[in-house]
Structure 1
């Protein structure tokens, strides 16, 4: 008869070569923690998803359903897309979206190019007074946007820029730069200085270090900052309403106000359809760039 030996601490029934699985006992405290986490996650999902579902269902209702039924009632016809046709054709949502794109993407390009370059110059390069310049950008974050609208309107009127898209582009660029510069300086702070020093020893110029080393290492952070600024510009109403309340350059947020008729009468179905068109496009863009945004949010948290 042969004796069966096992390794110390390993049960005799355990097979060699397989990791030993240790099951944790479900204590009342651990069970309560799991239930609490589930309730919190379910609550957050409910307050996020339910308004979107209500918005989508509301866009399928007729005006009579809105006036004669409760707001939470389901539409009678789930294939009623007439409101979308009214919003696109009669409401001219396509033109408003085009105007928003004409104001958003040039502003976003200027913000990203100038903000990334300024963040690199303020954090990587060594020159006298860079700390004071960074404080000026921080002060720009603290200035309320409402305080500068009237002086800017007067300046645009005197320079004959009113009635064009340029007031929106210039204002969005000016208001978006302070936060962008501060965030990019924070991300560049996490990049090891030895990399730039090695590049300088190898003969790389400042521009080469920025384009070939600095920018690729903060690429995910640039996507994050750009997406944050995109949401701010695209969803802005105050600045767009100040400079394009009349004219051919009204943005999507200003255009949604045109669905309110005389004496405050609202066409609820077309209005909800127009909001759905706007929200779905932004949601698809965020889902497409979600992974880059998550990596960018943690890029500057640890210094390598």
Structure 2
């Protein structure tokens, strides 16, 4: 009798294959909306890139005569890329010469300002931080005409200096605000110990603060880089010479003979620009994530 009771109890405790299948089905049903959302987002992100890549392999006749959803006749038609590179190389050089100096100034001045506003103690630092925050609320479109007048009177038009100066001024408010937030997460005892050891303010900034903020600086640098590199309005306003156009303005005026748009080389040029930015983000993605969470918790 004891054996029978034990067996019946074990059978009752065993859920059985049918019960396991029901639990598995319910688990999949609960996760199905999440899977569908991820699939939709993936299609929304990947489809334009695939369409852009396929378009860069088409000839002009295929663009004009075939449906937009048709595949290219040849997947090895790379002459569009050679044509695009010969036209875009100069624009890429101008973008590098305009963006990277401005980015360096933004990082250096913004980090120094955040250090001064959060680490150093002086009267009026709260009002100064508010002034920087006010700069975030000023639309860039409002300052283009006055800046163009100033640059014209100074004789800077026709050069890349208007872009460098404007990019630096526009990027500073957000950089100062974010760096001040990140500096709040660093214990003040670190800088106090450096001061007791005889370190000056400049030494504390370059030897302690700057190295400790590597991930945060990289995150802000990437955010500002994407904004400055993809800028069209400012570059279109201040680049009056074709030889000084950045890559975004160059893509806007990417036409062939007699003003006819060459769709294949245009798609190839856009692919080159997108690929450079995409590779940069994929390589530095983990550092960006660490930098975004660095200022979330105060240490």
**TM more than 0.5:** yes
Instruction: Determine if contact 1:119/1:184 at 8 Å carries over to the other structure.
Output: yes
Matched length: 279
> Equivalences for 1:1-304 in 2 at 5 Å?
26=23, 30-89=27-86, 92-260=87-255, 265-304=260-299
Paired with 1:93 and 1:122, the residues of 2 have a C-alpha distance of: 42
Paired with 1:142 and 1:155, the residues of 2 have a C-alpha distance of: 22
Unaligned runs of 5+ in 2: 1-19
Instruction: Determine if contact 1:163/1:247 at 8 Å carries over to the other structure.
Output: no
C-alpha offsets along residues 22-78 of structure 1, whole Å, 9 cap, x if unaligned? x9x946664333212211111111111111111000000011111111112110000
Alignment partner of 1:298: what SS?
helix
Give the structure with the higher percent helix.
2
Paired with 2:52 and 2:175, the residues of 1 have a C-alpha distance of: 33
Unaligned runs of 5+ in 1: 1-22
Instruction: Determine if contact 1:96/1:249 at 8 Å carries over to the other structure.
Output: yes
Alignment partner of 2:244: what SS?
coil
Alignment partner of 2:228: what SS?
helix
Q: TM-score, normalised by structure 2?
A: 0.89
Paired with 1:155 and 1:261, the residues of 2 have a C-alpha distance of: 35
Instruction: Determine if contact 1:245/1:254 at 8 Å carries over to the other structure.
Output: no
What residue number does 2:12 align with?
Answer: none
Alignment partner of 1:248: what SS?
helix
Instruction: Determine if contact 2:80/2:264 at 8 Å carries over to the other structure.
Output: yes
Of 121-130 and 200-209, more deviation after overlay is shown by 200-209
What residue number does 1:13 align with?
Answer: none
Instruction: Determine if contact 1:110/1:173 at 8 Å carries over to the other structure.
Output: yes
Instruction: Determine if contact 1:104/1:234 at 8 Å carries over to the other structure.
Output: yes
Q: Pairwise CA RMSD of aligned residues? A: 1.7
C-alpha offsets along residues 93-122 of structure 1, whole Å, 9 cap, x if unaligned? 100000000001100110000000000000
Alignment partner of 1:211: what SS?
helix
Instruction: Determine if contact 2:158/2:240 at 8 Å carries over to the other structure.
Output: no
Q: CA deviation at 1:192?
A: 1.2
Q: 1:262 to 1:121 in 2, by over 3 A?
A: same
Of 228-237 and 79-88, more deviation after overlay is shown by 79-88
Q: CA deviation at 1:240?
A: 0.3
Q: TM-score, normalised by structure 1?
A: 0.88
